[in-house]
A and B are shown apart, each in its own frame.
Chain A
C-alpha cells in the first residue's frame, strides 16, 4: 500500500496567521491519465470528514479561498492563508492513484 506521511501531526496556530501541512507519499501519485489524485479532507470535531481539495489544487464548492493545495509527484502541501476559528479540526491527505486508497495519519490544527 502507498504510505501517506503527514507533518506536523499537531499544529497550534494563532488566529489570522498562516498554516501549512505537508503530505508525502511513498510512491508517485501521477496516474496513467496524467492527473495526480491527491485530495485533502477536513474533519471538524464531532463531524464527518469533508473534502476541501481534489487533484492537488482544485477547491471544492463552498470551500473558502484561504485554503489552497499544491505539490507534485510525492510531495504535497495544504495551506491556510489566515486561520479562522472554524478551521480547527483534523486534516487528512488521501491518495486515490493506487488501490487501495490510503489516507495520511491526520494533522490536528488547534488555536494557540
Chain B
C-alpha cells in the first residue's frame, strides 16, 4: 500500500523559500500525477500545483510566480519550493497522489506537515 510522507522545516522566515519533500513508499512514483495542496490553520483547502512523473507541471495561477515542483524518480520523491513566503503561507502542506487522473482529485494523501512563516 503506497504511503506518502512530507518532510522539511517547520519554521521558515518571511521572504525566504519554503522547501518540502514528499517521499513515496510502497509504490513507484512512475505513471502517476502528484500534487501539493495546503490548508491554513482552521481554513479550507488550496491546490498549489501538480507534477507528472515525467516532469511536466501545472501550477495554481495565484501562486505560479513563486512555486516550483520537481520530481526525482531515482529517489521516489517529489518536492515543493515556494519563494518569498509571508505569514499568509502558514499552512499544513499535503502531498498527494492521483490514482485515476488529475480531474478526479487525489486518492492518496500524506499526513501533512505544518509550516509556520515567522521571524
8 Å CB contact of A105 from B44, B62, B100, B110: B44
Q: Does A100 belong to the interface (CB within 8 Å)?
A: yes
CA distance A31 to B1 in the complex (A): 31
Q: Does A79 belong to the interface (CB within 8 Å)?
A: no
How many positions in chain B have a CB within 8 Å of any CB in the partner chain? 20
8 Å CB contact of A48 from B102, B105, B111: B111
CA distance A39 to B98 in the complex (A): 13
Q: Does B58 belong to the interface (CB within 8 Å)?
A: yes
B112 and A100 form a contact (CB under 8 A) = no
A96 and B103 form a contact (CB under 8 A) = yes
**Which of B44, B105, B109 counts the most chain A CB atoms within 10 A?**
B105
A67 to chain B, nearest CB (A): 15
Residues of B contacting A: mostly: loop
CA distance A12 to B90 in the complex (A): 30
8 Å CB contact of B62 from A51, A54, A96, A100: A100
Q: Does B11 belong to the interface (CB within 8 Å)?
A: no
Q: Does A59 belong to the interface (CB within 8 Å)?
A: no
Q: Does B46 belong to the interface (CB within 8 Å)?
A: yes
**Which of A54, A99, A101, A103 counts the most chain B CB atoms within 10 A?**
A101
Residues of A within 8 A of B111 (CB): 48
Q: Does B25 belong to the interface (CB within 8 Å)?
A: no
CA distance A97 to B111 in the complex (A): 26
CA distance A51 to B107 in the complex (A): 6
User: If the complex has contacts A99-B58, A100-B61, A103-B44, are A39 and B94 also in contact, measured as CB distance less than 8 A?
Assistant: no
5 example contacts (A-B, Cβ-Cβ < 8 A) are as follows A37-B104, A41-B105, A54-B104, A96-B102, A96-B105
- B interface residues with partner A (beta carbon < 8 Å): 44-47, 58, 60-62, 94, 100, 102-107, 109-112
